[in-house]
A and B are shown apart, each in its own frame.
Chain A
Amino acid sequence: MKRSRRRYLLFHLHREGQPVNGKHLGLALWKSLLSLYGEINAADSKLYLLDFDESSGVGVLQCSGSALQQVITAAVVINAIEQTLVSFEPKRTSGTIKGLNHQVPRHE
């Protein structure tokens, strides 16, 4: 089986209300991906929340290159996490985590 390349996504989760826990965000991402694209695509996405700053809402997630488009779309359609209304803003993607750090500071 060919190993797919990883992609990293820098994002900003805007919210109105209580800060969103990283664990809840990860779960919401998985649920949305599963609902929108199904079990096979969710499994193949290799989605993983690498870093998330609850106060600023800035974070980095990792997924397979082939699933990047699906992961972003699934994240964008999330409108609430644990009763907190949210708006997911994809900022930048890169093939390396270092690339993201160079382009945009991870914690604003």
Chain B
Amino acid sequence: MTVDVGVYVPDMEKISSFGNIAHQIGFKGIAITGLMDQPFRQLAEEITVYRRVNITGKGINSLRKQIERVRKNTIIVAVQLGSIDMTNWVVEDKRVDFLTLDPSKDYKLRETTASIASNSATALEIQIAPLLNSSGLYRSKILKAYREAVMTAVGAGMGVVLSSGATHPMGLRSPLAMMHIGMLLGIDRPLVERAVHELPIYIIERNLKKLSTEFVSSGVEIVQRGRVHEKE
């Protein structure tokens, strides 16, 4: 089961055209930003749509408040790579799933940040849309930023996830196509398979489990509810 975890659907009327293409190219699910109230829903095209929230804020307090507010009804929580202090705080927080790299900004992924992220299971998200919408020198600069970030993340043992970042149905790419773009970014074959097929669904399943009423904390679940019999 493969899921594209970064899709930007402009309005709910267009969701079926995204679902249709996603189904045709081999996805079972897409995670969309905003628009939905519930954590997930099923489309007629045999596609599950998951709720994703991109959090932006100027300071740690603002981020903390936003994460608290959205985490309980969201499947994917992503924060954009920013200043060192904020990013290091973000990747340490286990409620954050993705650290998204914006190639148009000057922020770089540092080894220390990647190392903290590898311990808290926050993954680096690379969206391929900027690569598709550019050419020449500008694309070369994007490739440089992505390849450096990927190399730092892989070196530190931080997970890497590839998503489309599509704002249009034709911005979606099949899982195999995404794997080839991953290899262009310097990810080797086993890791690129993990970045496209395994890690996204692992994170979604982990978060779905957390939303379940039986979930208490990591590794603790209610397996059976019963009555307490008092001694007479």
- Binary CB contact string for chain B from 162 to 184 against chain A (1 if under 8 A, 0 otherwise): 00000011111110110011011
Contact of B183 among A16, A73, A90 (CB under 8 A): A73
> Which stretch from B59-67, B104-112, B129-137 is at the chain A interface?
B129-137
- In the complex, what residues of B have CB within 8 A of residue A36's CB? 184
Within the assembled complex, what's the spacing in Å between the Cα atoms of A89 and B174?
6
Contact A16 B170 (CB under 8 A): yes
Sort chain B's interface into a size bin: 20 to 34
- Residue of B at shortest CB range from A78? B132
- In the complex, what residues of B have CB within 8 A of residue A79's CB? 132-133, 170-171
- Binary CB contact string for chain A from 80 to 91 against chain B (1 if under 8 A, 0 otherwise): 000001111110
8 contacting pairs across A/B (C-beta < 8 A): A73-B181, A73-B184, A76-B181, A77-B131, A85-B170, A86-B170, A90-B174, A90-B177
Chain A residues with a Cβ closer than 8 Å to the other chain, count = 17
Assuming the A-B contacts A76-B173, A79-B171, A89-B177, are A14 and B21 also in contact, with contact meaning beta carbons closer than 8 angstroms in the complex?
A: yes
Taking beta carbons and an 8 Å cutoff, which residues of A are in contact with B?
14-16, 35-36, 69, 72-73, 76-77, 79, 85-90
Which B130-146 residues have C-beta < 8 A from chain A? 131-133, 135-136, 139
In addition to A16-B168, A76-B173, A89-B25, 12 A-B residue pairs with Cβ atoms within 8 Å of each other are A14-B24, A16-B170, A35-B135, A73-B181, A73-B184, A76-B181, A77-B132, A79-B171, A85-B170, A87-B169, A87-B170, A90-B180
Contact B176 A90 (CB under 8 A): yes
- Residue of B at shortest CB range from A31? B135
Contact B180 A76 (CB under 8 A): yes
Contact B170 A72 (CB under 8 A): no
Within the assembled complex, what's the spacing in Å between the Cα atoms of A86 and B168?
10
Assuming the A-B contacts A35-B135, A77-B132, are A89 and B176 also in contact, with contact meaning beta carbons closer than 8 angstroms in the complex?
A: yes
Within the assembled complex, what's the spacing in Å between the Cα atoms of A22 and B172?
22
- In the complex, what residues of B have CB within 8 A of residue A35's CB? 135-136, 139
Within the assembled complex, what's the spacing in Å between the Cα atoms of A90 and B183?
15
A45 → B minimal CB distance (Å): 15
Contact of B170 among A15, A69, A77 (CB under 8 A): A15
- In the complex, what residues of A have CB within 8 A of residue B132's CB? 77, 79
Contact A87 B173 (CB under 8 A): yes
